[in-house]
Amino acid sequence: MEESKRTELRNRLARYCQRYSSNNMAAASLKNISAATISNILNGKYNLISEDMWRRLESQLVRNEGWQIFETGAYRDMEQFMGYAQQHSSVMWIAAPAGIGKSTAAASYTALHRHVFRLTCAPDMTRSDFVHELAGQIGVRTNGMSIRESFHEILKHLVTLERPLLIFDEADKLADSVMYYFIAIYNALEDRCGIVFLSTSAIKKRITRGVLKDKKGYDEIESRICRRYIDLTPVSAGEIEQICLANGLQDPAAIARVKADVKAYGNDLRRVKQSVNRELLYMKREEE
């Protein structure tokens, strides 16, 4: 790996470590990267780091290279809501359409702010998966601990931090047995930690049905988000054009095709990215 690339990764690592209380915590949040390795890299002792270790670090710190993010109205909404939740230790559920940019904005906010931890949820997550992945994001080592012990270690650490924020992305995908942890987290960290849930609007029906059927935990969850679901500003045609320009697509006819293509899909930003890249590929082929 070239020296310039190593220096770039060193700078990325330094910014990453600033999000945590210590380098040990940062190391615990990375996979197969020790605190000693972090120390050697930050101190410029590159000769002690193998090529495999550099690549391993790069795979975890460098993502979405080449695609320029344009701050849509939804992106700015997300920044405002997450900032408020962090500063005021508030709890909120953002329920907005898929493809509007929730995960992108959350990832960006996480990367730029201290003591912000984002967990992407999945339908096959067990209680053990949830607790140990959350511990990993926060940087709490739980080797050899039971689920209960690990969960209490997470809570103990979070209350020591200044204005921490937990972001649960795709929170609606979790099974009921795992979602119950939200209640315990809220109860232990009320007024000490901000919590933001992200999902599509389908969560409204799920929780409403659960409340009406007096299903275990659902009324408590809805109460803790103040029985409110937050939507985001829809992506506009003008924003689609700005995304095209930001990513090097300047031909008016090509931009018009992108806008027409994505309109039928509610300006889904994943569709926008696909359409822009396709137009750029066509243009490149025509130039060859």
The string of DSSP letters for the chain reads: --HHHHHHHHHHHHHHHTTSSSHHHHHHHSTT--HHHHHHHHTT-GGGS-HHHHHHHHHHH--STTPPPP--HHHHHHHHHHHHHHHHT-EEEEE--TTSSHHHHHHHHHHHSTTEEEEE--TT--HHHHHHHHHHHHT---TT--HHHHHHHHHHHHTTSSS-EEEEETGGGS-HHHHHHHHHHHHHHTTTSEEEEEE-THHHHHHHHHHHTT-TTHHHHHHHTTT-EE--PPPPHHHHHHHHHHTT---HHHHHHHHHHHHTTTT-HHHHHHHHHHHHHHHHHHH-
Domain boundaries of the chain, sorted by first residue: 3-61, 73-230, 237-287
pLDDT at 212 over 60: yes
Residues 104-123 pLDDT 10s: 999 999 988 999 999 999 99
Among 56-60, 128-132, 193-197, the least confident range: 56-60
Task: With 0.95 as the threshold, say if the pTM is over it.
Answer: no
**Does CATH place domain 73-230 in 3.40.50.300?**
yes
